[in-house]
């Protein structure tokens, strides 16, 4: 499999999907929104964007299966190659007219994530990576930061919106980071949080209550940018977990210590 060629093709597909999303947001009405579950918004835009992506990826790699958020196609995880897709990560931002939302596409080969593309629509920024090829932003090489202390770090997170079982531990984690870092940011799309960690805008990111399509592409970006990924317990099989920590390798022990102490069971 020619991963560089596949990655370039996925970049083009993500940008096409992003252009569709951009035109849709300019005329979007909240009457088109429905609820899948508590605070989990979906609209015809999510579904139509996913159909577009699935159609293009099916032509690109006919033998691959799919794991998609909106389930507009058959979910087939038993195939050797599987696309993992979030057609609109940041739906709530999109619905409320905020400009930060993204298209996230990853390719998994057997148990390994090998391609990741995150297109942040509002800023027209395309983050991409493939196994062994490094990570890029609009074609330029990117790397995680070298920050090694919490006091010099800027971290990102996502607030719980449906799973409140671990809320006390999450609040304690935030309280620790409030006083020990330069600050915390919550922008509303896990894919972009990971992309921004890969390119050094954030020194680290942590969140729980996630699904594979939220993080799959971003995991490839961070790893290929020189970062480290784990779940809240320190495990490396993050795609199967609902929690994630992503940082540079120097800062990881400090972030992990705080998160593990307060939320190791999330």
Structural domains of the chain ordered from first start: 3-141 (3.30.540.10), 150-263 (3.40.190.80)
Q: For 205-255, write each residue's pLDDT tens digit.
A: 999 999 999 999 999 999 999 999 999 999 988 998 899 999 999 999 999
> Cα–Cα distance between 153 and 183 in angstroms, integer?
7
Nearest 5 degrees, angle CA 218-CA 155-CA 242? 50
* Rounded Cα gap, residues 250 and 146, in angstroms: 7
Rounded-to-integer distance, Cα 230 and Cα 173, Å? 17
pLDDT of res. 160: 84
Helix (H, G, I), strand (E, B) or coil at 127: strand
In angstroms, the CA 142 to CA 163 distance is 33
DSSP secondary structure code for residue 159 in this structure: -
Residue whose entry in the numeric block shows the structure tokens 């597909």: 13
Can you list the residues of the chain whose pLDDT is less than 50? 39
Give the pLDDT of residue 14: 98
The whole-number pLDDT of residue 34 equals 65
Residue 239 DSSP symbol: G
Q: How far apart are CA 205 and CA 233, in angstroms?
A: 15
Please state the pTM of the whole predicted model: 0.94
Q: What pLDDT is recorded for position 202?
A: 98
| CA 159 – CA 188 distance, rounded (Å) | 8
Return the pLDDT at 32: 66
Separation of alpha carbons 84 and 113, rounded Å: 9
Residue 253: burial class (beta carbons within 10 Å; 0-12, 13-18, 19+): exposed
């Amino acid at each position: 499999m020619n991963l560089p060629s596949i990655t370039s093709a996925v970049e083009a597909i993500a940008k096409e999907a992003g252009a569709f999303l951009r035109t849709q947001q300019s005329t979007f009405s909240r009457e088109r929104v429905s609820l899948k579950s508590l605070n989990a918004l979906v609209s015809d835009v999510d579904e139509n964007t996913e159909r577009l992506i699935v159609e293009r990826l099916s032509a690109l790699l006919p033998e691959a299966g799919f794991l998609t958020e909106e389930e507009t196609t058959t979910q087939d995880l038993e195939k050797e190659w599987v696309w993992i897709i979030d057609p609109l990560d940041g739906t709530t931002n999109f619905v409320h007219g905020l400009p930060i939302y993204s298209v996230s596409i990853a390719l998994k080969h057997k148990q390994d994530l090998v391609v990741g593309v995150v297109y942040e629509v509002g800023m027209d920024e395309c983050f991409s990576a493939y196994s062994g090829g490094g990570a890029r932003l609009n074609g330029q090489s990117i790397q995680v930061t070298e920050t090694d202390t919490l006091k010099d770090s800027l971290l990102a997170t996502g607030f719980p919106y449906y799973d409140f079982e671990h809320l006390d531990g999450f609040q304690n984690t935030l309280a620790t980071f409030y006083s020990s870092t330069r600050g915390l940011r919550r922008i509303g799309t896990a894919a972009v949080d990971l992309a921004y960690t890969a390119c050094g805008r954030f020194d680290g990111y942590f969140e729980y209550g996630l699904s594979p399509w939220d993080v799959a592409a971003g995991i490839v970006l961070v790893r290929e940018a020189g970062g480290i990924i784990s779940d809240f317990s320190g495990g490396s099989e993050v795609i199967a977990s609902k929690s994630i920590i992503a940082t540079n390798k120097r800062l990881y022990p400090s972030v992990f210590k705080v998160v593990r102490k307060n939320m190791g069971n999330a």
